[in-house]
Amino acid sequence: MEWKTGITKVEPNNLVTKGYRQEDLIANVSYSSVVYLLLKGELPSKEHGRMMDAILTACVDHGITSPSWLASRTVASCDVPLSTAVAAGVLAIGDAHGGAIEKGAKILQYGIKRMHDENKSMNEIAAILVKESKEQHKRIPGFGHRVHTSDPRTKKLFSLTDEMKIASEHVELSKCIEKNFEKNGKKLPINVDGAVAAIISDMGFDYRLGKAFFFIGRIAGLTAQVYEEITREKPMRKMFDIECKYDGPVERDLPEEG
Amino acid sequence: MEWKTGITKVEPNNLVTKGYRQEDLIANVSYSSVVYLLLKGELPSKEHGRMMDAILTACVDHGITSPSWLASRTVASCDVPLSTAVAAGVLAIGDAHGGAIEKGAKILQYGIKRMHDENKSMNEIAAILVKESKEQHKRIPGFGHRVHTSDPRTKKLFSLTDEMKIASEHVELSKCIEKNFEKNGKKLPINVDGAVAAIISDMGFDYRLGKAFFFIGRIAGLTAQVYEEITREKPMRKMFDIECKYDGPVERDLPEEG
Amino acid sequence: MEWKTGITKVEPNNLVTKGYRQEDLIANVSYSSVVYLLLKGELPSKEHGRMMDAILTACVDHGITSPSWLASRTVASCDVPLSTAVAAGVLAIGDAHGGAIEKGAKILQYGIKRMHDENKSMNEIAAILVKESKEQHKRIPGFGHRVHTSDPRTKKLFSLTDEMKIASEHVELSKCIEKNFEKNGKKLPINVDGAVAAIISDMGFDYRLGKAFFFIGRIAGLTAQVYEEITREKPMRKMFDIECKYDGPVERDLPEEG
Amino acid sequence: MEWKTGITKVEPNNLVTKGYRQEDLIANVSYSSVVYLLLKGELPSKEHGRMMDAILTACVDHGITSPSWLASRTVASCDVPLSTAVAAGVLAIGDAHGGAIEKGAKILQYGIKRMHDENKSMNEIAAILVKESKEQHKRIPGFGHRVHTSDPRTKKLFSLTDEMKIASEHVELSKCIEKNFEKNGKKLPINVDGAVAAIISDMGFDYRLGKAFFFIGRIAGLTAQVYEEITREKPMRKMFDIECKYDGPVERDLPEEG
C-alpha cells in the first residue's frame, strides 16, 4: 500500500510544494500567491496574484451579523483552545453562508458552457437562467444582500477585474443576470459572494473550491474575533437577553408505566 | 444590552476594519498585511509585511506526516462539505501540533522579561532556561524535529529576519538556547515552530496568538489536501492496511444478570 | 424579538423537557428513552424503548476500520480537549460514513409511499427501485459491507424487531430489495446502516434524523477511543508507516518574475 | 508496525467490545450501560447502571441559555449536515461549559486522597480546600448557578445516590464544601456539574473523563435543537437584534505607502 500526493514532497531537509522549494516560496512569493499555487497548481500572473489578495481580503470580516462569527465567539467563551473556537466558525461556512460562491460559480460556469453549446447570446442565456430559476422556485445564488444595497466590496472587486483585465464571460454573465432581474422589477444587486463566484470562474477555478476563498479569507477575521472575546470578555458571559418562549407540550406527569 | 467590537464596523454600504474602509484594503493591501492588521491592530511596515508573508508560507503544508493533514483527509473521504473537512484539520492544531509556537513564544517572552528584570546576560538566561527545563523534566518547545536536522524553512525565515532587520532579542535567545543544548551534548536545532515563535515575539505579537500563524497558513494546505482527496480518491477508501491487535478482555458471555 | 422552542422550558429551579419535569425523567426514564423523547416528541412504548437501546448500541463502535475513529484518534494525539477530539470524529459522520441511514431511510420511505400511491405489491416496488438504481448508476444505500458478509448486528436488530413486533413495511421492503439484488446475481446483504434505516422508518422517524442514531450511539465509542489514545499513546506518535509518493510537478526554480 | 486497541475486536461477522459480542449487548444491555462499559471497562451493577441513566439524562438539555446550544443552532442555520452542526455544539463543551465536571472531580479526588494521606477529617479537608481556593483567588468548580438556586437535577441525582447506596466520600466532601461556603456567608449550592463530578468520583471514574458525561448526554439535546432549527426556521435567519457598537480606531485613510 502506498499513498500518492501531488501537493508536497517531504524529504529530510527538503520540502517541495507543487514543484517549488518551500524556501524559495518563503523568500519570494506572497502568501496569497502560495494559496493560488495550492488551489490552481501554478503560480499566478501578477494580475491574478493581485486579484487573489483582493478576493481574500474581501472575505475577511463582516462583523456581528455573520453566523461564522457568532459560532466562533460562542465557542470561544467556553474556554477552549484558539483553534477549536476558530474551527467552529469554519463549520458555519455552509451552503447558506458563503455557499453562494460555490453554487454561484457552478451556475455561471454551466451558463457559459451552455451559451457556447447552444450558440446563444449573453443576454439570452441570462434571461434563460432567470426564467428557469423563477419556474423552479430557486434563487440564483449571489444576488441580493440583507444589509447592503450597493456593496463596497463588490464594486471594488469588479473595478479591479476591469483594471487587471481579468473580467471576462463569467463576470459579464453575472452583470447580465443582475440587469435581467431589474427588468423583471427586482432589485437584486450582485453581492460579494456573487462577485467572487464570477471572478474565480473567469480566473479558471473549479467551482467546487468556492467555499475555500471564503474560509481562507474569513479565518483571519474569525481569529481576531476569538482573540477579542478571550481578551475583552468573561467566559460564559450572557451573549444576548432576548426572551425564549417555550411552545412544546404543557408540563405533565410521566405516564403510569414510565 | 449591547455588544462591543473593535474589529469591524458594519453599516449599510460601508465596512470599516480597524479604521480602514474595506474597499481601500481590497484595492491596496496584500492579504497577509490584512491578517497582520487584524491580529496586531495596525498595518505592518514593509519589512513586517514581507515577514508576515514568509511566516504564513512557512506553515503552509508538510505533507503526509502531519496529523492535521490526516484528520482533514480522513473526514474528506466521508463525503462532507469542504469546510467541514478543513475544520477537522484545524481542530488538530493543538498543544502537540503547532502548539510550540504559542508555548515557545511564551517562554521566550518570559525569558527576555526575566533577563531584563534580573539583569542577566543573554547566555545566562539561556542557560537558566535549559537547566530549569531539565530539572522540571519539561522540553522547551520549538527545538528538534522528527524529520529534519536542518529545516530549510527555519534557515530561510532567520535569514529574512536578518535581512529585514527584524531579528532581535527573542531570535537571539532562541539561538542561544540551541547552542546551550549543544553544549550539553544535545542536537536540538530550532524547528519551524520555534523560529516562528521567536520571530513573532520580536515583531511584538501576544504569544496567545501563536497557534493562529500556524492555522492561518496551514488552512491553504489543508484545503489543497481535501480537494485532492475528493477529486482523486474514492469515498471511504481504505487509508492504510496495518494490522490492529485487540488486547482487551477475552471474548466472554454476558453475566447472568445482564 | 423572541425565540421559540418546543424542547426545554428553563425557569429558575424548574426544567421541563417535552412537557416532562427533568427530575422525573432523571429518576424514572432510561437515557435512550429520553433520546427517543427528544427526537420523536413522545416517550417510547416499552418495545420502542428497547429497540432504541438496541439501535444505539449497534452503532457504538467498529474499531480501527472506521474514519470517525481515525479522525478522533488523530486529533486526540495533538493534545487537545476531550470534546475537541470527539467532535472531529462526529464531523466524519457524513454521507459516505453512517449516511446510509439517512439516505436509506429516505428511499425506503419514498418506496413505501409510492407503493401505496401506485397500488403496487412489495415485490414490484422493490424491483422498480433496484431497476431504477441500476439505470441511474446509483447504489441503493444500506446494502453490502466491506468487512462482513453476514453482519451480526443486522441479524440481531432484525430478530428484535420481529420479537417486539416493530418490523413492518419498511423492514419488509428492505428484505425484498436484498432478495431482488440476489435474483440479479448480486450478493448485497443489508448492512447495519440499512437495518437501522428500515427500523427507524417503521418506528415513524423522519429520515432527516438518520445520521443522529449513528452519532449518538458512536459518540461513546469515539470517547473510549480518545481516552485510550491519551492514556496509552504518546502525543504526535507516528500513526502508520506507509510510503507516500509525490507525483506533483518536478522540482523547479521559481520563474524569473516570482 | 501494528496498532493495539483494547476496545473492539473487528473480524468478519464478529464484533467484540470489551470482551462482549456486540449481538449480545444489542439484545440485552441498555445503551447507557454500554456507555459505562466503554468508559469503565466493565458492565455496571444494577445500581450503577441506573445511575448512569440518571447522569446522562441530567445533562441532556438546558435550553437557550447554553453556549453549546447557541453554537449548534447558529451552525445549523447555515445549511450544513446534521453532524456538522451538532459537532459545533460539542466543541463548545470546554473548561467553562461542562468543564466543572472534570475540574470538580479532579479536586474532589485530590481532596479525598489528601484527607487519607494527612489523616484529616472530612470537615477539615473541606475547610482547607475552601481556604486555599480563596487564597489562590480560584473558584472551586461545581458550585453556584446563574439560573437556579436549588437545581432540581442536583437534588434528584443526590437522592438517587442515597437510594442506590452509591453516595460515598466524594459526595460527602462536596456537601461539606457547600456548607463551608455557607459558613463563610456564601450561598454557593452544588450545581449539576458539581453533583455529577462527585457521583462519578464515587463510582470510580477517572476525572479526565469528566466532560464525556456531559457531551454524551448533551448530544441528544443538541440534535433536537438542530432538528428544530432546520424544520422550523429559515436558513441564515437573524438570531438576535441587539446593537453592536464599534469601538475600534476611527475611520481613516490608508497611510501613503499602503
Angle between helices C99-117 and C210-232 (to 10 degrees): 170
C-alpha cell of residue C134: 441500476
* CA nearest to B196, candidates B220, B167, B224, B164: B167
Q: Which helix H or strand E contains D8, and what residues bound it?
A: strand D8-11
C-alpha cell of residue B242: 496495518
In this structure, the answer to whether residues C121 and C191 fall within a common structural domain is yes
How far is B147 from chain A, CA to nearest CA, in Å?
5
Chain D residues contacting B via beta carbons under 8 Å: 1-10, 16, 18-21, 24-25, 28-29, 41, 43, 46, 80-81, 83-84, 91, 242-255, 257-258
Q: For residue D246, what are the CA distances in angstroms to B6, D241, D255?
A: 5, 15, 21
Q: pLDDT for B232-243, tens place per residue?
A: 999 999 888 888
- β-bridge partners, C239: none
CB pairs under 8 A between A and C: 124
Q: Searching chain B, which residue's CA lies closest to the CA of residue A61?
A: B8
**Residue D19 within a domain:** yes
In this structure, the answer to whether residues D11 and D64 fall within a common structural domain is no
D196 and D157 in contact (C-beta within 8 Å)? yes
**Residue B53 within a domain:** no
**Residue C204 within a domain:** yes
Q: Report chain B residues whose CB lies below 8 A from the CB of D5.
A: 244-248
In this structure, the answer to whether residues B156 and B213 fall within a common structural domain is yes
Q: pLDDT for B171-211, tens place per residue?
A: 999 999 999 999 999 999 999 999 999 999 999 999 999 99
Q: How is residue C245 annotated by DSSP?
A: E
Cβ separation B251–D19 shorter than 8 A: yes
Q: How is residue C140 annotated by DSSP?
A: P
- What pLDDT, on the 0 to 100 scale, is given for residue A63? 83
C-alpha cell of residue C64: 480501527
* Per-position DSSP letters for D48-87, written without gaps between them: HHHHHHHHHHHTS--GGG-HHHHHHHHHHTT---HHHHHH
Q: How is residue C208 annotated by DSSP?
A: G
In this structure, the answer to whether residues D83 and D111 fall within a common structural domain is yes
Q: How is residue D119 annotated by DSSP?
A: T
A190 and A148 in contact (C-beta within 8 Å)? no
- What pLDDT, on the 0 to 100 scale, is given for residue B257? 64
The whole-angstrom separation of Cα A236 and Cα D146 is: 10
Residue D258 has pLDDT above 50, yes or no: no
Q: Searching chain D, which residue's CA lies closest to the CA of residue C65?
A: D10
The whole-angstrom separation of Cα C30 and Cα D31 is: 9
The whole-angstrom separation of Cα D116 and Cα D109 is: 11
Residue D49 has pLDDT above 50, yes or no: yes
How far is C118 from chain D, CA to nearest CA, in Å?
28
Mean pLDDT for chain B? 95
In this structure, the answer to whether residues A207 and A96 fall within a common structural domain is yes
Residue A258 has pLDDT above 50, yes or no: no
Q: How distant is the alpha carbon of residue B180 from its chain centre? A: 24
Q: Searching chain C, which residue's CA lies closest to the CA of residue B245?
A: C64
C-alpha cell of residue A18: 507543487
Cβ separation A19–C242 shorter than 8 A: no
In this structure, the answer to whether residues A66 and A132 fall within a common structural domain is yes
Q: What is the mean pLDDT of residues B70-80?
A: 97
What 3-state DSSP class applies to C4? strand
How far is A195 from chain C, CA to nearest CA, in Å?
27
Q: Report chain B residues whose CB lies below 8 A from the CB of C88.
A: 71, 75, 88, 91-92
How far is B93 from chain D, CA to nearest CA, in Å?
14
Task: Closest CB to C248: pick one of A7, A244, A250.
Answer: A7
How far is A102 from chain D, CA to nearest CA, in Å?
13
The whole-angstrom separation of Cα D66 and Cα D68 is: 6
Q: How is residue C223 annotated by DSSP?
A: H
CATH number of the domain within which D182 lies: 1.10.230.10
Q: Report chain A residues whose CB lies below 8 A from the CB of C18.
A: 248-249
Mean pLDDT for chain A? 95
In this structure, the answer to whether residues A33 and A69 fall within a common structural domain is no
* CA nearest to B240, candidates B37, B60, B64, B78: B64
Question: Which single residue is written with the C-alpha cell 492514556?
Answer: C231
Domain count, chain A: 2
**Residue B248 within a domain:** no
In this structure, the answer to whether residues B110 and B217 fall within a common structural domain is yes
pLDDT band of residue B258 (cuts 50, 70, 90) is very low
In this structure, the answer to whether residues D17 and D79 fall within a common structural domain is no
Q: For residue D44, what are the CA distances in angstroms to B12, B193, D38?
A: 60, 46, 11
C87 and D91 in contact (C-beta within 8 Å)? yes
Answer positive or negative: Cα dihedral of B103, B109, B113, B118: positive
* Per-position DSSP letters for chain A, written without gaps between them: -EEEESSEEEETTEEEETTEEHHHHHHHS-HHHHHHHHHHSSPPPHHHHHHHHHHHHHTS--GGG-HHHHHHHHHHTT---HHHHHHHHHHT-STTTTHHHHHHHHHHHHHHHHHHHTT--HHHHHHHHHHHHHHTT-PPTTB--SS-SS-HHHHHHHHHHHHTT---HHHHHHHHHHHHHHHTT----B-HHHHHHHHHHHTT--GGGHHHHHHHHHHHHHHHHHHHHHHHS-TT------EEEE-SSPPBPPPS--
Q: Which amino acid is at A61?
A: D
Query: A251-258, long-range: CB within 8 Å, 24+ apart, which pairs?
Result: A251/C9, A251/C16, A251/C19, A251/C20, A251/C21, A252/C19, A252/C20, A253/C24, A254/C20, A254/C24, A254/C25, A254/C28, A254/C29, A254/C43, A255/C43, A257/C46, A258/C24, A258/C28, A258/C29, A258/C43
In this structure, the answer to whether residues B33 and B119 fall within a common structural domain is no
- What pLDDT, on the 0 to 100 scale, is given for residue A149? 87
**Residue C14 within a domain:** yes
In this structure, the answer to whether residues B122 and B13 fall within a common structural domain is no
Q: Which helix H or strand E contains C243, and what residues bound it?
A: strand C243-246
Cβ separation D97–A64 shorter than 8 A: no
Task: Closest CB to A246: pick one of C1, C5, C80.
Answer: C5
Q: Which residues of A137-169 are buried (b: 16+ CB within 10 A; e: fewer)?
A: eeebbbbbbeebeebbbbbbbbebbeebebbbb
A200 and A45 in contact (C-beta within 8 Å)? no
- What pLDDT, on the 0 to 100 scale, is given for residue D257? 64
Q: pLDDT for B43-57, tens place per residue?
A: 999 999 999 999 999
Cβ-based burial of D2 (10 A; exposed 0-12, middle 13-18, buried ≥19): exposed
- β-bridge partners, C4: A245
Find chains touching chain B: ≥3 CB pairs under 8 Å: A, C, D
* CA nearest to C93, candidates C52, C48, C62: C62
- β-bridge partners, D14: D11
Cβ separation A88–D75 shorter than 8 A: yes
**Residue D135 within a domain:** yes
Question: Which single residue is written with the C-alpha cell 493543538?
Answer: B94
Query: Which residue, among C1, C57, C64, C75, would best test binding to B if mutated, counting the most B CBs under 10 Å from its CB?
Result: C75
How far is C138 from chain B, CA to nearest CA, in Å?
14
C15 and A257 in contact (C-beta within 8 Å)? no
Q: Report chain A residues whose CB lies below 8 A from the CB of C20.
A: 251-252, 254
Q: How is residue D121 annotated by DSSP?
A: -
Q: Searching chain B, which residue's CA lies closest to the CA of residue D256?
A: B28
How far is B76 from chain A, CA to nearest CA, in Å?
13
Q: Which amino acid is at C30?
A: S
Domain range spanning residue B13?
7-44
The whole-angstrom separation of Cα D71 and Cα D86 is: 9
Cβ neighbors of D32 (< 8 A, separation 6 or more) are C30, C31, C32, D49, D52, D53, D56
- What pLDDT, on the 0 to 100 scale, is given for residue A159? 97
Question: Could you give the percent of chain B with pLDDT greater than 70?
Answer: 99
Cβ separation B209–A223 shorter than 8 A: yes
- What pLDDT, on the 0 to 100 scale, is given for residue C258? 44
Cβ separation A97–D91 shorter than 8 A: no
In this structure, the answer to whether residues A67 and A193 fall within a common structural domain is yes
Cβ separation A81–B211 shorter than 8 A: yes
Find chains touching chain C: ≥3 CB pairs under 8 Å: A, B, D
Task: Closest CB to B1: pick one of A3, A57, A241.
Answer: A241
* Per-position DSSP letters for D208-248, written without gaps between them: GGHHHHHHHHHHHHHHHHHHHHHHHS-TT------EEEE-S
Q: pLDDT for B84-121, tens place per residue?
A: 999 999 999 999 999 999 999 999 999 999 999 999 99
Cβ separation A67–D84 shorter than 8 A: no
Q: Searching chain D, which residue's CA lies closest to the CA of residue C14?
A: D152
Q: Report chain A residues whose CB lies below 8 A from the CB of B148.
A: 12-13
**Residue D245 within a domain:** no
Cβ separation B2–D243 shorter than 8 A: yes
Residue D46 has pLDDT above 70, yes or no: yes
Q: Report chain D residues whose CB lies below 8 A from the CB of C148.
A: 12-13
The whole-angstrom separation of Cα C57 and Cα C68 is: 16
**Residue C257 within a domain:** no
Residue A145 has pLDDT above 90, yes or no: no
* CA nearest to B129, candidates B175, B189, B167, B168: B175
* Residue ranges of chain C whose pLDDT lies below 70: 257-258
Q: Report chain B residues whose CB lies below 8 A from the CB of D9.
A: 246, 248, 251
Cβ separation D95–A77 shorter than 8 A: no
Q: Report chain B residues whose CB lies below 8 A from the CB of D258.
A: 24, 28-29, 43
Q: Report chain A residues whose CB lies below 8 A from the CB of C252.
A: 19-20
- pTM of the predicted structure, to 2 decimals: 0.97
The whole-angstrom separation of Cα A7 and Cα B231 is: 13
